[in-house]
Chains A and B, each alone.
Chain A
Amino acid sequence: MSSNSNLTTMKRTVEQLKLEASVDRIKVSQAAADLQQYCLQNASKDALLVGVPAASNPFREPRSCALL
């Protein structure tokens, strides 16, 4: 690689790092609390978490029919 392209790449890296460094950050305690709140607020709608009664489960075992 020529020294010019090394320089260009390095300049790009520095610009990118400046961008990433400038991000506004919140505290982990806040972020964690918000994730917890989201999970709890939506728990009742989460079929894999709370289970789903057989009657409303579109994947319940297809019932065999008895021929009378």
Chain B
Amino acid sequence: MSELEQLRQEAEQLRNQIRDARKACNDSSLSQITAGLDSVGRIQMRTRRTLRGHLAKIYAMQWATDSRLLVSASQDGKLIIWDSYSTNKIHAIPLRSSWVMTCAYAPSGSYAACGGLDNICSIYSLKTREGNVRVTRELSGHTGYLSCCRFLDDSQIVTSSGDTTCALWDIETGQQTTTFTGHTGDVMSLSLSPDSRTFVSGACDASSKLWDIRDGMCRQSFTGHVSDINAVIFFPNGNAFTTGSDDATCRLFDLRADQELMMYSHDNINCGITSVAFSKSGRLLLAGYDDFNCNVWDTLKGERAGVLAGHDNRVSCLGISSDGMALATGSWDSFLRIWN
């Protein structure tokens, strides 16, 4: 037998080993454990604010840590920083490339970032001495589109790309500190763990991976979805995460059990999920869909608890403020809505 053939067999054996180990831990199900739990009942939210100003599809948004400001990115070529309480625009930042796919707000509130088909992650300083907003760094190195970016702090940012890799960047030097390789398809989304030591990524290879930020290693891989994963988000305690996919399902994966615990789907739902978020306690899973709606799921029982209708086009992004007070949704209809 050739060495290649031996390795192939070894790989097959290891995959079976992982499958068997997961099965051995599969002594129950999340549904069974929560069978006696009261359901959350009907969750109804109303649009409290509509943020108007973008002139084209909104592709991404992220709340600032103050739970009041938020940043949104649109293919009208603008990044807008909003005060969600008043709906005032704090900054309207013209972008060098209008083909933006992602944006991020630094935890300190001092920087924003965005990127897209230009393959570059641009860092903007929001608090310059002159009072204007300007590009302070252009992080180039990815050989594919920038699908997602998330600040660790003012000097480090993690990116995911259509080139199938993720990267940790030193913003000061503009260099990639670490490259995360392993996915075999475009990486579409990433989510940092609450302790910032790891992150999960979701890709068009239908798998999600847990990465150690420090050493660049992929610690765990999860399969199950049958189509592109468009969104990932960590559960608030960092022990689990949820993915949203073009296969019309969201799935909850537990890191310590190393397997899928729940699937959120319905026969009536046949379109892709673009974005996912957890409410503060993790009990509610919010998911944005291609059919213009947002569904509210009971994370523990797997049942749909509500629907948020209001957008006139695909919900492309959503996020929950860190104080848990509000949900923001962004849409191809060019509006953002704030709900609670």
Residues of A participating in the B interface, judged by any CB pair closer than 8 Å: 3, 6-7, 10-11, 13-14, 16-21, 23-36, 38-43, 45-49, 52, 57-61
Contact = CB atoms under 8 A, between A and B. Distances in A.
B33 A36 contact: yes
A21 B18 contact: yes
Contacts of B49: 59
B89 interface: no
A21 B21 contact: yes
Given A21-B14, A35-B300, 8 more contacts: A18-B14, A35-B237, A48-B320, A49-B283, A52-B325, A57-B48, A58-B85, A59-B84
A25 B21 contact: yes
A50 B278 CA distance: 14
B257 interface: yes
Contacts of B282: 35, 38-39, 42
Most buried by B among A16, A23, A35, A42: A35
B257 A27 contact: yes
Q: Rank and list the top 6 A-B pairs by shortest CB-CB distance, nearest first.
A: A59-B48, A42-B281, A17-B14, A46-B281, A32-B33, A29-B28
Contacts of A24: 256
Nearest to B48: A59
A7 B45 CA distance: 55
Contacts of A21: 14, 17-18, 21
Contact of B338 (A36, A42, A47, A59): A59
A31 B280 contact: no
Contacts of A47: 279-280, 323-326, 340
Interface string B8-52: 101100110110011011111110111001001001010011000
A36 B31 CA distance: 11
A38 B236 contact: yes
B324 A28 contact: no
Given A17-B18, A25-B21, A26-B256, A49 B40 contact: yes
13 contacts: A7-B7, A14-B14, A20-B221, A21-B14, A25-B25, A26-B256, A34-B239, A39-B300, A42-B283, A46-B280, A47-B340, A59-B48, A61-B48
A46 B326 CA distance: 10
Nearest to B22: A25
B4 interface: yes
A59 to B, nearest CB: 4
B136 interface: no
A58 B63 CA distance: 15
Contacts of A60: 48
B154 to A, nearest CB: 26
A47 B323 CA distance: 8
B258 interface: yes
A27 B340 CA distance: 36
Contacts of B320: 48
Given A26-B257, A29-B33, A10 B4 contact: yes
Contacts of B221: 20
Contacts of A16: 182, 218
B257 A42 contact: no
